[in-house]
Every structure is written in structure tokens, then in C-alpha cells.
A and B are shown apart, each in its own frame.
Chain A
Amino acid sequence: MDYATLLQILDSTIRLAVPLLLACLAGLYSERSGIFDIGLEGKMLMAAMCTGAVAALSGSVWVGLLAGIAGSVIFAAIHGIASITFRGNQLISGVALNFVASGITVLIAQSLFRQGGRTPPLSGDARFNPITLPFAESLSGVPVIGPLYSEVISGHGALVYIAFLAVPVTWWVLYRTRFGLRLRAVGENPASVDTAGISVIRLRYAAVIITGILCGLAGAYMAAGLQAGFGKEMTAGRGYIALAALIFAKWRPWYALMATLLFGFFQALALRPDVIKNTMGFDVPVPALDALPYILTVIVLAGFVGRAIPPRAGGEPYVKER
């Protein structure tokens, strides 16, 4: 494999990792607060459709982004109502909302555009345009580092940089702020938060809404960054891969970055089976690469690579003790 091919693969790794990363961080907020969320997939899908539709109608990707976030937050709020207010089964709620999202996105897109459940192709300002980072042009001549900077690191849409920025920000929020302390506490032992006079319900809703916003970004990137428009089931299980990455990362932000980059790398490789054949000398079936993130997650879950201990109060609705 030559350097140029490597750069191509790294470039697509980043692009493919971004939706995973945003969704993974989204899940991190929710699950750290004690609300399991297997509905990341549905929220992403909803956001992708809203972004695709509104960007196509308005011609502005930013308006589309807001719509995407709104769509995702609505679903997050329903999950919140079911699992926080009515203390329902969080897993079932997540599964249910994934189905609703899968169906309703097509219904809406079809009724708006009548293009077989898709939104019209986006172009120009209706997509996230690449941002050329400073000195990308001038440094491109520098050997090794130059192309890496100008081709892999520079030239992505705004959401890519936001996604990577979200990692340190999440770390900082989680471990350095009052909100983060309370968020971690409510996911471990909600009674400790409640007796300290802080509302468990409000905290958890805040977390769930943040999850909605980040899933909104992830979905918007799918529709207006990675691709140009919404198509049926376009998230293709990314919400579940993000969930897998979250477990792989043991619910920690920096590890989430590494896990999603790894899974993004697998996805990038799956797009270029020829590269594997050339470098490794044998054929790796594409389905095997597709399944790799899931297999790795099962191995992590099995505790063979360090134990993944979820937040202790995760999945349990909070009921005051007598």
C-alpha cells in the first residue's frame, strides 16, 4: 500500500468515524446519567431526514442542522418521558423508537418530496462545505506531514471539527464541572443526588436532551456531510455500532474517540477490499469487516479485555425509597 492510498483510507476513516463519534458521545451522556439508550439509531435517522428535508427546502445546511437537532431532540424527549417520568423499560423504549423512526422518516420524506422516501439531492450551501484549515495549501509540499495535514486533517465539513472538539469538551464537562459531577453521580446512585436536594428527574432529562442534540449532529452529518440527502435506513446500524463503541470505550470520552476511530477504520477498509488484498496478500471478506466492530464489542463485553462496568444505576428507573 502506498502513502497516497493510506491517506485516502485515513481520510475516509475520519469521515466514517464522525457520525459514530457523535452518536457515541451522545450515548455517553445518557448512559452516564443512568438512562440506557439503544435508540441512538432512530434519533440519528430522524435527524438525517429532518436535515435532508429542511436543507433541501431552505437551501441552507444550517437551517437543516437545526431541524435535524429538533427532530432528534423530540425523540429523545419521548424516550425521557417513557423512561424517566413513567419509569418504563428503557431498552424497550429505545427499540420502539427505532422502529417509529425507521417508518416515520420514510413517511414524511415521501409525503414531502414523493421521491420514493428519499429527500432531494443536496448541493452547494445545503451541504457542509469543506473547510480548508490554515496553511493547508502551503504545507502540502512538506514531505509526509504535509499531505497528511492537507488531505486528511484539513478539508472536512464543520461538523467533523465539532465532533472532535466534543471529545475534550465532554471530558471537561464530565470531570471538571458541577454538572458533570452530578451527572456521574445520578448514574451511579441517584439516591445520593436526590438526598442532596438535586432533582434526579431534571438531571436525567438534561442528559437525555444533550443526547438528542448530539444525535442530531450525527444525523445531520450523515445527510448533509457524508452523503447528499436522506435515504431510507441510511444510518444502517451506525447507532448500534456507536453503542458498541460506547461499551468498548467503557463509557469514557477519550476511549470513545479511539473506539470510534477504530470502527471507522474498519468501515473504511470495507470500502476498499482491494487494499487489504494487496497489503495482506489474502482476501478478507467484506462481511467479516462489517461484523468486526460487533465481534470486538462482544469480546469486550465478555470481559476478556478488561471488564466493561456500566454505570451502576443504568437502566433502573429511580423510585424514592421509603
Chain B
Amino acid sequence: MTRLPRWADVVLVPLISLLLAGIISALVILAIGQSPREALSTMVTGSVGSAYAWGYTLYYATSFMFTGLAVTVAFHGSLFNIGGEGQAQLGGLGVALVCLALPWPHWTLALPVAMVAGALFGAAWAALPAYLQARRGSHIVITTIMFNYIGAALIIYLLVNVLRPAGQMDPATARFPAGAALPTLHDLPILNLIFDKKIPANVTLFVALFACWLVWLLLWRTRLGYEIRAFGKSEPAALYAGISPFKVTMLAMLVSGALAGLMSINNVMGESGRLLQNSSEGAGFIGIAVALMGRNHPIGVFLAAILFGMLYQGGAEIGLWTSIPIELRTVVQGLVILFTGALDHMVRMMLGVFFRPRRTEVA
């Protein structure tokens, strides 16, 4: 196969993948008798056409940054963490417990504690699959899938039987105290000049941006990151270099789980103000798409998260204003994962035609 120049691999491959996913989605829309053009314009207007729209797009993007980073960290250690969904929901449990535990006077006090709790709970939910992978060789993909379901069952049980306040019908915790509510971008000075309506995007966005930077530092500037990447490329070589597979597997997965768990300060603390069933709403899975699209680099993850934020918000708008069901965004999401993660060789082959190197003849 032709080897592509680096810039083409990093920039063109994801873009072409996205384009292919877009084309197929357009064909699907055509096939169900709707107009792709209308869908696209609704999506763009609804997601980036106004500050209000951006307020939603950025809210979703914040969640996806966390889950995308979670998948990225594990991926560098050659661990495919599909458990972001469960880890995010458990993280939500941690956040909820913290928020409900004290009558928090101010969000600046509540946020750090909630972050620690969310990260710890998320990491804890990744710990057992990580341990089983490291010590018993149980395939982490399967165990994390199982843990998603176990986690969902656990949350349902807790919400229905334990955490639900008396007299409340729906399975959810009580509302968090006002002092545990995070300010939205609308509540912040200067930013409220731009975001002049109530929007869900909140200060967690800045935490997410900070997390992108931290993950970059972790992977490319620290010894642990070096060990994770080395282990991910070759386990026997890592052993030779004295890198403990157990330690790296555990740490990579714990960091991954913690990042997924951290997501819940955005949705649970920043938006809904209580813990609901299925709080992560698939963001854990979208993290896979975001990481693949972002080529497992924090900058890529940042950009891809914004893109998927647009898709998610735009998709909701499509569901609202056109007769195309909201599920279109699930299709697009699946197609993006398919093209960037599974058909990437095909995309490279297609691109390879334009980058055919000159054959050097050996005399």
C-alpha cells in the first residue's frame, strides 16, 4: 500500500472519512424522501448559526471532549475502552453523591470535590476490567461492554430503591442545592455579552480544555505517557524496557475511566442538576467516534468534539424542525466511526492514488 505523507494521514484521512459519511447520510436522507440540503442547512443554522445554538453545541462538545480523551488515553495503551458510557454514568453517581452530601455554599467549592468524586467513581468502574485484562487476560472490549450494562443496572437500582426521594415518581435523585449549580457561559461576565440567552454550556468547558492540554502533556511529555505509548505499540518490547504491563494497563485505564467520569460534571452538575437514568446519553460511545476522528490526539479530539457537538445539536434541530427523525445523528455517528476506524485502509487506498510515489528503480 502506498504510504501517505503525514499531513495527508492526519488531516485528509479524517476529512475524507467525514465526507464519505456525509455523502452516505445524504443518500439515506434522499432515500427516505427528504431533502439533504434542507437537513444540512437546518443542522448548520441550529448548531452554529447563533450564539444560542453555539451554547448547545459547546455543551455537547464539552462532554465529548472528556469521553474522546478517555478513549484516546486507553487507545495509546492499545486498550479499546468501550466502557466510557458506564464509567460516565458511575462518575455521575459520584458527582451526585457529593452535591447532595452538603448544602454547598458556592460552586467553586463544590466543583473541585465533585470533580474528584466523578473521576474516582469513573476510574473505579474501569478498574476491574483493567485488572482482569492485566492479570487474567480477559478481553477488555468485552468486559467494558459488560460493565456498561452492569453499571446501568446498578444506577437504575440505586435511583429506584435508594436515592429517590420519598414521594417522587421518576427514578432520579433529589435536586442538587443551588450552591452546587455551575454557572453557564451566560452567567459569566464578558461571555454573557455573547451568550445573551440561557444556554447549557457551562464552566466545565474550561475544565475540558484544560483536560485536553493535560492529556497532551501526559502522553507526550511524561514518563507514564511514554510507557503507555510504548506498551501500546509492543508489549514484549515494553517488558524488555522494564515497563510493567500491569502498571501501565491499570494506570491507562484508570486515567481513561477518570476522564469519562469527569464528563458528568458537565451534564449532571452543570445541566440537569440531579442524577437521572442514562445520564450520559451515549456520550461514552460518541467518545469512540471523537477519538477516531481526532486521530487520538488531544487537538484532534478537541476539533472532533466540536464537530460532534454540532452534529448532535444540529441533529436535534433536524428532529425538531424537519420530518427527518433525530436518529439521523446516530447514523452519521456510526458512519463516521465506520469510515475512520474500520474502513481507514480503504480511505487511504483511495487517497493513495493521488500520492503514488515515483518508483525508484534498483539497478
Q: Which residues of A contact B (CB under 8 A)?
A: 38, 78, 81-83, 86-93, 95-104, 106-108, 110-111, 117, 232, 237, 240, 243-244, 247, 285, 287-288, 290-291, 294-295, 297-298, 301-303, 310
Q: List 29 A-B contacts (CB under 8 A).
A: A82-B342, A82-B343, A83-B342, A88-B343, A88-B345, A88-B346, A95-B82, A102-B330, A103-B327, A103-B329, A103-B334, A107-B32, A107-B328, A111-B34, A240-B145, A240-B146, A240-B149, A244-B142, A285-B157, A287-B156, A288-B153, A290-B149, A291-B153, A294-B146, A294-B149, A295-B146, A297-B142, A301-B143, A302-B138
Q: Which residues of B (116-156) have their CB < 8 Å from a CB of A?
A: 128, 132, 136-139, 141-143, 145-147, 149-150, 153-154, 156
Residue on A nearest B146 in the bound complex, by CB: A294
B contact residues around A104 at 8 Å (CB): 28, 327, 331
A297 near B146 with CB under 8 A, answer: yes
Which of B142, B324, B335 makes the CB contact (< 8 A) with A107? B324
- B33 within 8 Å of A (CB atoms): yes
In the A-B complex, the 6 residue pairs with the closest CB atoms: A99-B334, A103-B330, A100-B334, A93-B342, A88-B342, A92-B341
Which of A244, A285, A290, A302 makes the CB contact (< 8 A) with B161? A285
Most buried by B among A100, A117, A243, A285: A100
A93 near B139 with CB under 8 A, answer: no
Whole-angstrom distance between the Cβ of A237 and the nearest chain B Cβ: 6
Q: Which residues of B (25-73) have their CB < 8 Å from a CB of A?
A: 28, 32-34
A310 near B149 with CB under 8 A, answer: no
B contact residues around A83 at 8 Å (CB): 342
Which of A90, A99, A303 makes the CB contact (< 8 A) with B337? A99
Q: Which residues of B (336-350) have their CB < 8 Å from a CB of A?
A: 337-338, 341-346, 349
A contact residues around B292 at 8 Å (CB): 92
- B172 within 8 Å of A (CB atoms): no
A117 near B327 with CB under 8 A, answer: yes
- Size range of the interface on B? 35 or more
A contact residues around B161 at 8 Å (CB): 285
- B325 within 8 Å of A (CB atoms): yes
- B288 within 8 Å of A (CB atoms): yes
Q: Bound state CA distance, A309 and B157, in angstroms?
A: 33
A301 near B138 with CB under 8 A, answer: yes
- B231 within 8 Å of A (CB atoms): no
A contact residues around B34 at 8 Å (CB): 111
Q: Bound state CA distance, A93 and B346, in angstroms?
A: 13
B32 near A93 with CB under 8 A, answer: no
Q: Bound state CA distance, A23 and B101, in angstroms?
A: 45
B331 near A103 with CB under 8 A, answer: yes
Q: Bound state CA distance, A106 and B318, in angstroms?
A: 14
Most buried by B among A107, A240, A297: A107
Report if A93-B328 is in contact (Cβ < 8 Å); known contacts: A88-B344, A291-B153, A298-B147. Answer: no
A contact residues around B344 at 8 Å (CB): 88
Q: Bound state CA distance, A288 and B161, in angstroms?
A: 12
- B104 within 8 Å of A (CB atoms): no
Whole-angstrom distance between the Cβ of B281 and the nearest chain A Cβ: 13
Q: Which residues of B contact A (CB under 8 A)?
A: 28, 32-34, 80, 82, 128, 132, 136-139, 141-143, 145-147, 149-150, 153-154, 156-157, 160-161, 285, 288, 292, 324-325, 327-335, 337-338, 341-346, 349
B contact residues around A111 at 8 Å (CB): 32-34
A301 near B334 with CB under 8 A, answer: no
Q: Bound state CA distance, A291 and B153, in angstroms?
A: 6
Q: Bound state CA distance, A288 and B235, in angstroms?
A: 37
Q: Bound state CA distance, A117 and B63, in angstroms?
A: 27
A247 near B342 with CB under 8 A, answer: no
A99 near B330 with CB under 8 A, answer: yes
A contact face: mostly helix, strand, loop, or mixed: helix
A303 near B138 with CB under 8 A, answer: yes
Report if A102-B153 is in contact (Cβ < 8 Å); known contacts: A88-B344, A303-B136. Answer: no
Whole-angstrom distance between the Cβ of B3 and the nearest chain A Cβ: 16
A86 near B346 with CB under 8 A, answer: yes
Report if A100-B327 is in contact (Cβ < 8 Å); known contacts: A287-B153, A301-B139. Answer: no
Residue on A nearest B336 in the bound complex, by CB: A96
Q: Bound state CA distance, A249 and B222, in angstroms?
A: 43
B342 near A92 with CB under 8 A, answer: yes
Residue on A nearest B135 in the bound complex, by CB: A302
Whole-angstrom distance between the Cβ of B29 and the nearest chain A Cβ: 8
Residue on A nearest B24 in the bound complex, by CB: A100
Most buried by A among B80, B142, B147, B343: B142
A contact residues around B146 at 8 Å (CB): 240, 244, 294-295, 297-298, 301
Residue on B nearest A304 in the bound complex, by CB: B136
Report if A91-B80 is in contact (Cβ < 8 Å); known contacts: A82-B343, A86-B346, A117-B325. Answer: yes
Residue on B nearest A98 in the bound complex, by CB: B334
B contact residues around A99 at 8 Å (CB): 285, 330-331, 333-334, 337
Whole-angstrom distance between the Cβ of A277 and the nearest chain B Cβ: 14
A contact residues around B333 at 8 Å (CB): 99, 103
A102 near B338 with CB under 8 A, answer: no
B contact residues around A97 at 8 Å (CB): 334, 338
B149 near A96 with CB under 8 A, answer: no
B157 near A287 with CB under 8 A, answer: yes
A102 near B341 with CB under 8 A, answer: no
B contact residues around A117 at 8 Å (CB): 325, 327
A contact residues around B334 at 8 Å (CB): 96-103
B345 near A106 with CB under 8 A, answer: no
Q: Bound state CA distance, A181 and B16, in angstroms?
A: 41
Q: Bound state CA distance, A243 and B144, in angstroms?
A: 13
Residue on B nearest A42 in the bound complex, by CB: B334
A291 near B150 with CB under 8 A, answer: yes
Which of A82, A95, A288 makes the CB contact (< 8 A) with B157? A288
A107 near B327 with CB under 8 A, answer: yes
Whole-angstrom distance between the Cβ of B344 and the nearest chain A Cβ: 7
A100 near B338 with CB under 8 A, answer: yes
